[in-house]
Structure 1
């Protein structure tokens, strides 16, 4: 079982992932099949995914990470737990007996794009008592995905938690944002210090199509130290701070082989750099490179470490500059 999350004031910031870890069943295919046909499978693997991906990126960027989600009992829950142990991620959630972890079936085509279907398991169950156990440190950050608000057995408790305004919350709407009830969606948007969305999700939230305009709309009303990131795939991202014009930060050119988890890598890296004192633009530039490099390897949790990112950016690892501490933990 996990433990509660309290820490002494002297401890440094960490990321607390509120969204569930699931298990990905990953098929590499020539192309996603048409209805009624079968794909030609070129490879298959099983790996922890979902909320795990952003945690891995943040951990490799140099901060401590804790998972507050629920683990079940069964072979898939064991895979999820073992993956967290390997990455040095502290599990502070609860165990739900009699229900295994959720699954996601991923089809990654020859161009590196993915299609998927998912169903929750124990990861989709969160209660008020589970959330009451948490005791975050003063410098901790929280990450919440729209998936957690989509699941009926976690939504109500999380909405109540959101209305209590948890500090330093980053909200990732996720591809299911359109299916989330309006009250839950607004609770997350109202509580979020930062919103990190991809272009399609941002369009759903704002009704806009221009990425800069979407970023600006998502940043409107955020606290002065917050804002919005509009992720735009290989084109990079748009960074918007409240009351300021959005800034486009170009992507880092790579040959992508698998985009699975790239958005999560971006979000995890961005939070990690903010937690280590980088300003928002610096954090977003590093997140762009981290996400791009993650697509050059097969798998959902392929974020590089901070040294690798800095070298790719032409910088010397382990140095401190005026924009924040870039030295790895």
Structure 2
């Protein structure tokens, strides 16, 4: 069982289903509303736990009903929440999500996630030192990501950074990251590359980037310059929310097997995740992923 530490956001997702996305200034009648536990960090922690990893979550929630529900949900999923901190007088993070067809628009309000500090990460140093992989994202302060990367490097633990929401990253941080996992749009922002074709962007960071491209799968340029493409898997999509988080969780969970098999498992897990509603609701169990891969092999 691989050991993962996930440092990142914990949100409540407020999801509205609609026949289409409203135009600016328009009031549109929706079809359905639901709340789901979310946040990139929590999503990735849950997805990895369902795939058989032993997961420690490092993050913050508010002292509100959402916060209590979010921690209880993580515990129910088998995630170790000893390093999930409740911040008094602060609201838990939320994501307002509109879903139309298989596409979504998302507004994230950080709340307690921005109260996560490098000191919180330092308190989890023993868990990071014992991990097989550390996984983080950009829905928490960049100083927290930098502290996480420094500790992972100190202990020789591979670190995966999912750069979302994307910002231009300092070279010193990129040097400490083992794998960067953007989509094509995020990669362009991270590298300040404008309209540069993605193969050229990948070649600028050989061995470092695993880029996702939706139904087309994932791409990587190895340290020796070899171009690697893992095709996506064909499924009937219901809700794409959380597909990227599932990909990252699976990549981290299976990384000890090697990057290429991990990319295949990650693409398959992400494909399965879009066949059900909700970011965490669609994340597969390990036996579901095994059965899916057996059917498509």
Partner of 2:130, secondary structure, is coil
Question: Once the two structures are superposed, what CA deviation does each residue of 1:173-214 show, in whole Å capped at 9, x if it has no partner?
Answer: 113325xxx5xx434312111111111101222315433333
Report the Cα distance in structure 1 between the residues aligned to 2:103 and 2:253, rounded to whole angstroms: 26
1:26 corresponds to 2:15: yes
* Cα pair distance change 1:268/1:161, threshold 3 Å: closer
Residues 1-329 of structure 1: pairs in structure 2 closer than 5 A: 13-50=2-39, 51-93=41-83, 94-110=85-101, 112-134=102-124, 135-136=126-127, 137-149=129-141, 155-163=142-150, 165=153, 167-178=157-168, 182=169, 185-206=170-191, 207=193, 209-218=196-205, 220=206, 227-274=208-255, 277-301=256-280, 302-314=282-294
Report the Cα distance in structure 2 between the residues aligned to 1:16 and 1:129, rounded to whole angstroms: 16
| Counterpart contact for 1:27–1:106, Cα < 8 Å | yes
Partner of 1:260, secondary structure, is coil
- Tell me by how many angstroms 1:158 deviates: 4.1
Structure 2 unmatched ranges of 5 or more = none
| Counterpart contact for 2:4–2:53, Cα < 8 Å | yes
- Tell me by how many angstroms 1:161 deviates: 4.6
Aligned length: 286
Structure 1 unmatched ranges of 5 or more = 1-11, 150-154, 317-329
Report the Cα distance in structure 2 between the residues aligned to 1:71 and 1:21, rounded to whole angstroms: 7
Partner of 1:36, secondary structure, is coil
- Tell me by how many angstroms 1:253 deviates: 0.2
Partner of 2:188, secondary structure, is helix
Report the Cα distance in structure 1 between the residues aligned to 2:145 and 2:233, rounded to whole angstroms: 35
| Counterpart contact for 2:134–2:159, Cα < 8 Å | yes
Partner of 1:266, secondary structure, is helix
Partner of 2:294, secondary structure, is coil
Superposition RMSD in Å: 2.0
Report the Cα distance in structure 2 between the residues aligned to 1:304 and 1:294, rounded to whole angstroms: 6
TM-score, normalisation: structure 1: 0.81
Structure 1 runs (4+) deviating above 4 angstroms are none
* Cα pair distance change 1:143/1:262, threshold 3 Å: same
